[in-house]
A and B are shown apart, each in its own frame.
Chain A
Amino acid sequence: MTKYLYLFPLTLLFFSHLCGAANGKLLATPGVSQVEGSAGGGLVPWAQLAGYASEDEIAINGFCSRASVSDYRLDVCGAQLNWHDRIELSYAHQRFDVPALELQIEQNIFAAKIRIYGDLVYSRWPQLSAGIQHKRLQDPLVANLLGARHEQGTDLYLSASKLHLGAAFGYNWLWNLTGRYTQANQLGLLGFGAENKHASLQFETSTAVLLNNHLAFGIEYRQKPDQLGIKEDDWQDIFIAWFPNKTVSFTLAWLDLGSIAGANNQTGWYLSVNGYL
């Protein structure tokens, strides 16, 4: 399966040559890519679909992100295809590093999102999308030792987002609310489920202000299930994202991920680069 993964970016490139760069949305409005590869903030998937494709365009995007906290590091790279601002297909590869143990855990995430209603900027009610993230853990050893029950899992989510023009003292204000049905432990990197635990609904939210057309400043909060006996905390971050033009963006964030696998107070930096075609 993974042998053929390189085909994905190649297919994307092929399509991008057919279609030309997508341009139909306003700068910064698609947002960036979250750690599982869906369009969103850094941690939370948003209702927007990735890239600048509007109703009759196709967008193709790639991204790489690094989260570096006290005892761990997470590297993610991925790509998304946006078809007519209706369907988003994405793939992301995560590599989780525990330097102290010289341990690595890798995971693949295949995801899809569909826009159900509305437009982030123009519709009266918020844009509404539904998504699915299918995760396959490649190194399940640690997950098994900690008592996780599965090596694969599928998250379902519903997301509402709205940009209010001029609403924050004249500045544009964005908010997002996502409900996720999940049984992933730490994104799935520590497996899925646990003895006597069931999948549960978790809430995630983001809000940002556009300081100008190129610069967004915001915060995110992601509720997490706490299923293994080792304490899993909610995640939060404060971020600034820079969109110099419609082909690239850079995101810098300060993360507070709480306790991860027994190590407390995991805080640190997050840096992400997105390319849009």
Chain B
Amino acid sequence: MKTLFFILSLLISISACSLQSSGTLYEKLGEESGISAIVEDLIGLIGEDKQLFHFFAETKVSRFRNKLIEHLCFISDGPCVYTGDNMEDVHTGMHISEADFNRMVELLQQAMTTNQVPLPTQNLLLARLAPMRHQIVHI
């Protein structure tokens, strides 16, 4: 029994190593071109989304695109400096609900899937965005 457990844990650790392909999250997302394509698709999806579009009705899309690309690059350990406003300042007064936030997550997942981002990479990006929720909803 003990040897079985040993072999099992060995197998798990080996497969863990092979799955944990090296490189930053930024590289896994396809670097600048990958992130740009994801953001482009996300903007397209927001434009067609009943629940979210109204938030962006007066947004300057070119700035939003650039700042979001920068932001995603920065939080995925890419070689960027985020030059936009901080999350609280940007989203204050929008009254974004928890459901709105989740809707944004769903659109982002869809945009990443369209760009063939593997699921583990998608989840790792979401894991970095999730702790920001409290700076974005209900403020």
Contacts and interface: CB of A to CB of B under 8 A. Distances in A.
Contact of A24 (B19, B102, B130): B102
B97 interface: yes
B99 A165 contact: no
A190 B133 CA distance: 47
B53 to A, nearest CB: 16
Contact of B126 (A24, A56, A124, A166): A166
Given A165-B126, A170-B19, 16 more contacts: A24-B102, A26-B105, A26-B106, A27-B106, A54-B98, A54-B102, A57-B99, A122-B130, A122-B133, A124-B131, A165-B127, A166-B120, A166-B123, A166-B127, A170-B123, A212-B119
Given A121-B130, A165-B126, A170 B121 contact: yes
A213 interface: yes
Interface in B116-137: 118-121, 123-124, 126-127, 130-131, 133-134
A25 B126 contact: no
18 contacts: A23-B99, A25-B99, A26-B102, A26-B105, A26-B106, A54-B99, A56-B97, A122-B130, A122-B133, A165-B123, A165-B130, A166-B120, A169-B16, A169-B19, A169-B20, A169-B120, A170-B118, A171-B120
Interface string A14-46: 000000000111110000000000000000000
B9 to A, nearest CB: 14
Interface string A150-185: 000000000000001111011110000000000000
Nearest to B124: A166
Complex A-B, nearest 6 residue pairs according to Cβ-Cβ distance, in ascending order: A170-B120, A24-B99, A166-B123, A165-B127, A166-B124, A166-B127
A195 interface: no
A167 B131 CA distance: 14
Most buried by B among A164, A170, A172: A170
Interface of A: 23-27, 54-57, 119, 121-122, 124, 164-167, 169-172, 212-213
Please report whether the interface of chain A is mostly helix, strand, loop or mixed according to DSSP. loop
Interface string B35-78: 00000000000000000000000000000000000000000000
Nearest to B125: A166
A12 B112 CA distance: 37
A170 B97 contact: no
B27 to A, nearest CB: 14
A170 B20 CA distance: 8
